[in-house]
Structure 1
Amino acid sequence: MGKPDAEGHGPSDGLPDLPPEWGRVVVPDDASALADEAAQIRRELRRAAGRTGPHRALVLPMVVLLVALLTTLAGLIAVTLPRANRGTDRPTLRPSSPPPALTGRALPALDLVDAGQAPVPLRGLLPAMIILVDGCPCPAVVTEAVAAAPAGVTVVTVTGGRAAAPPPVHGVRALADPAGGLRSFLGQPARPGTAAALLVDRAGTVTRALPELGPIDAYRGDLTALAA
């Protein structure tokens, strides 16, 4: 049996006045009478949770995707940005080496030119030590080669372009290679400060290729063998 509400329909037993817009409120003596209302409220709450659940379920995958994207971008930036100076951490420059098949090959029948622009068949000067000085005149190493060359072996200096460089020492045949055929045969570009050389026997066969002409002791035996 319910008690009168706060609108004067009965005593309120000390309860505070309720808002008038609530209308007539009946408080049951037995709480089980509210079971139907409680069940309806629970159904409403479940429906509300079902409406918002899918949106919450998308939050975690979106966060994971965002973290993966930021990690990928950070890795790309680290790879593409220039690295900081690491002091003495520098790549070691190794001298280039001649093609392995160059030794034993026949010297091409090239016509070079002398200081007067007259053609000079290179094969007509064999046996010879041919020094390419288009990257460096290198008078010291040329002079050393001339001093060590045995009788009958021609020391030839070859420059690029059409003008033969003056020989640094007496006994050198100075020529020019306008077409660049000799450098192309060597298979390596000219390097500043470096002279290259080919040792060719009287049959026209390359016996030694020196991409960087160094001290005479490195090739003295091969140079002497050209006179045989």
Structure 2
Amino acid sequence: MSGQLGDDDGGRRSPDPDGLPGLPPEWGRIVIPDDAAELDHEAAKVRRELRREALLHRHGLRPGRRMHHLMLPLVLLTMAVLVATTSLFAALFPQGRRGGGTPSSKATAVQTGAPLPDLTLATAAGRSVALRGVHPAVVLVLRHCACRSLIDGTAKAAGSQVRVLVVGATAPPTLPALPAGSRVTAVRDHGGELTEAVAAGQHRTKLTDRTATALLVDQHGAVIATVATTVDPTDFAERVPALAG
């Protein structure tokens, strides 16, 4: 399959319907193949002619007019490489992420009074956990932090009535020994969507490494409070039992 340069240029017609504007008319209509490999024969011809011209020049002989005949193959090769490179980049980066740090349309910013983002997380065993299906709950979003005392203290405050979801950035966190009857689940934030959503909801608070964000979720699934940066369960522990209603 071949594409004709000049037939369509991003939805705009070329000013010269018979080829590239500004090129000698004796070259005729230029057709650029989609596959640069189709020009292997022309490329071999160009290499032979270039070697011949270089040999003549080395021996002080006048090259003559052969170079003029090489211009069309050279133009075709150059444009074929450009078309192939552009197509490759378009395939690898079809849209790209824009506005760095902005969560995807699925991971909307975490806001007090609103439900959690509609995300699916995964346990170490590969079991899916629907974030909005976990309530009442305390969701601990860890940032490069083992936060064992935070997890332990949250589990004690939650008891058996409130679930605790511990979210790691790249893998489900390793849980410490937990109190009997506690309901603690470790999951992975696939793609960092929940981390982005938490950051997007904290416009005036800098989230630091080696800490966590605690989201307090009531029995109806609404976020009633956010502790943006914490390593100490006493920052919110007294509010946890009330989440069960």
- TM-score of the two chains, using structure 2 as the length reference: 0.48
Checking the alignment, whether the CA contact within 8 Å between 1:136 and 1:195 is kept in structure 2 is yes
Q: Which residue of 1 aligns with 2:139?
A: 130
Q: Is 1:149 paired with 2:158?
A: yes
Q: Distance in 1 between matches of 2:110 and 2:189?
A: 23
Amino acid at match of 1:123: R
| TM superposition shift of 1:214 | 4.3
Q: Which residue of 2 aligns with 1:205?
A: 222
Q: CA RMSD in A?
A: 2.2
Q: Which residue of 2 aligns with 1:165?
A: 173
Amino acid at match of 2:143: D
SS at 1:212 equivalent: strand
Name the CA shift for 1:169/1:196 in 2 (closer, same or farther; >3 Å): farther
Which runs of structure 2 are paired with 1:95-106 in the superposition (5 Å)? 102-106=111-115
Task: Report % sequence identity.
Answer: 30
Q: Deviations over 1:142-190 (max 9, x none)?
A: 11111111432001110012x2122123342100011212112212686
Q: Distance in 2 between matches of 1:159 and 1:149?
A: 20
Q: Which residue of 1 aligns with 2:62?
A: none
Alignment equivalent of 2:240, drawn from 208, 217, 223: 223
Amino acid at match of 1:164: P
What stretches of structure 1 move > 4 A for 4+ residues in a row? Answer: none
Checking the alignment, whether the CA contact within 8 Å between 1:149 and 1:155 is kept in structure 2 is yes
Mind listing any 5+ residue stretches in structure 2 that lack a counterpart? Answer: 1-108, 201-205
Amino acid at match of 2:176: P
Greater CA deviation, 138-147 or 118-127?
A: 118-127
| TM superposition shift of 1:201 | 1.1
Amino acid at match of 1:149: A
Q: Which residue of 2 aligns with 1:117?
A: 126
Q: Deviations over 1:83-136 (max 9, x none)?
A: xxxxxxxxxxxxxxxxx9821122112100000222211222211100012331
Q: Which residue of 1 aligns with 2:195?
A: 183
Q: Distance in 2 between matches of 1:101 and 1:176?
A: 18
Amino acid at match of 1:198: L
Rg larger in 1 or in 2? 1
